[in-house]
């Protein structure tokens, strides 16, 4: 976990994912559609925002659907729109 935390602190948005997982592709596509390129590291799907663990697919999609994801990304400097 220490290594993941260190990697997560390198950019505002970091995704650990399994490249063969369709949900990993969905989460990456969501962030790419926001207009930025998060750091991607191979692993189980996990998203860090501003160096803090946000969670996996369920948490990210829940934040997106309740319109909390974009404000969170703006707050940490990952999104400027």
Q: What is the CATH number of the domain that holds 39?
A: 3.40.30.10
Domain membership of residue 28 as a residue range: 2-75
Using CA atoms, how far apart are residues 29 and 34, in angstroms rounded to an integer? 9
pTM over 0.75: yes
Residue 81 lies in a domain: no
Q: What is the CA radius of gyration of the chain?
A: 11
Residues 6+ apart with CB under 8 A from 38: 11, 13, 14, 15, 28, 31, 78
pLDDT at residue 21 above 80?
yes
Helix (H, G, I), strand (E, B) or coil at 60: helix
Output 59 or 18, whichever has higher pLDDT: 59
Please write the tens of the pLDDT for every residue from 26-81.
999 999 998 888 889 998 899 999 899 999 999 999 999 999 999 999 998 887 76
Number of domains composing the chain: 1
The per-residue pLDDT for 81 is 64
Angstrom distances, CA of residue 24 to CA of 3, 19, 31, 75, 80: 20, 7, 11, 23, 23
């Amino acid at each position: 976990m220490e290594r993941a935390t260190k990697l997560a602190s390198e950019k505002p948005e970091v995704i650990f994912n399994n490249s063969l997982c369709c949900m990993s592709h969905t989460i990456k596509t969501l962030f790419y559609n926001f207009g930025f390129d998060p750091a991607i590291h191979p692993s189980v799907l996990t998203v860090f925002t501003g160096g803090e663990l946000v969670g996996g697919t369920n948490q990210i999609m829940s934040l997106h659907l309740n319109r909390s994801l974009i404000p969170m990304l703006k707050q940490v400097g990952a999104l400027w729109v």
